[in-house]
Amino acid sequence: MQFSNTTGNDLKWNFCQSENYLCVLLYIFLSLLTAVTICGNLLVIISIIYFKQLHTPTNYLILSLAVADLLIGALMFPFNMAFSVTTCLYQNTTTCKIRNALDVTISSSSVLNLCCISIDRYYAVCHPLMYNTKLTDHVSMMMGLGSWAVSVLYGICFFVMKYYYNLCRIECFFLSGVISILAFYVPTIILLCVYSKILLVALKQVSSLRNATSQSGPVASKKERKATKTMAIVMGLYLICWLPIFISYPFYTLSNIVAALVEPFNWFALSNSMFNPFIYAFFYQWFRSAFRMVISGKIFQGNFTNTNLH
């Protein structure tokens, strides 16, 4: 995410000011990144929608996250490829404002969907007897839609403020700081708190299973603990990729060095959207089976919606 700044044009993150092979290699690499991100997340979306075995509350939230990752690949990657040459960091055009508003919206959606998934995992591991009544399909869908509604609101507010107000350096600093806090730091703190609680409960359950005589209270299944571990990895990877941009982002108007790093940090953050499908395929047999059937085109040869994906 970037804010416009009319100064500092000499710090544009690009080496494509003239035709050279580095520019060609950059665009080939970014094009491949775009294709992998789009195809991978399409596999997740098609698999969850098509196969009834994957119609679970957790997977509906994963579906919402995959939609956000797909939009990053389909919209933000092309936008960033176009504007990394003449970076929006130093321009105030309407197109740049739309690009930045989309950036705010989609990236906010990703972290808010992760928050929803953490709540799902909390009930699955910490309160397994309540899980089926608290986290129904309907509740899961409403949580995903709510994440998108809040994210769209963030994006609209950002666009309106940038479109109607000519912000100075100090105002940009405070606005970017507020956006960073609301869109990243607050959800991240929630994620860390929830997963810390889940980890403590999971460790206690493992200890209880090793000593059956001391076992007390309901224990989450091995399947639920594995799902929690997988989503914790997804969350950890998200934090690693997005932390640099959100740390540097409020300070780019105050430091030329930080401003020069914003664009590559933004690409590093967006590349996170490529990894999640590979994580699901690595940890889940049913996702691997679903991916194979989709890639091979088998789902177009008959009705396989009720297929057992083990």
Q: What's the whole-model pTM score?
A: 0.81
Which residues have C-beta within 8 Å of that of residue 247, sequence separation ≥ 6?
none
CB 41 within 8 Å of CB 234: no
Q: What percent of the chain has pLDDT over 90?
A: 22
DSSP annotation of 217 reads: S
Q: What is the pLDDT of residues 194-215, one digit of tens each?
A: 888 888 887 777 676 666 544 4
pLDDT of residue 11: 44
Name the token pair of 81.
Answer: 């490829």
Q: What is the pLDDT of residues 270-285, one digit of tens each?
A: 888 888 888 887 888 8
Packing angle of the helix pair 285-296, 21-50 (nearest 10 deg): 110
pLDDT of residue 59: 93
Name the token pair of 10.
Answer: 């000499």
Q: What is the pLDDT of residues 257-269, one digit of tens each?
A: 766 777 788 788 8
Q: What is the pLDDT of residues 224-259, one digit of tens each?
A: 777 777 878 888 888 888 888 878 766 766 666 766
pLDDT of residue 69: 92
- In the chain, the amino acid numbered 42 is L
Give just the sign of the alpha carbon dihedral 189, 194, 199, 204: positive
Q: Which domains does the chain have, with CATH numbers?
A: 9-300 (1.20.1070.10)
Q: Which of 58-62, 89-93, 237-241, 278-282 has the highest mean pLDDT?
A: 58-62
Better pLDDT: 87 or 264 = 264
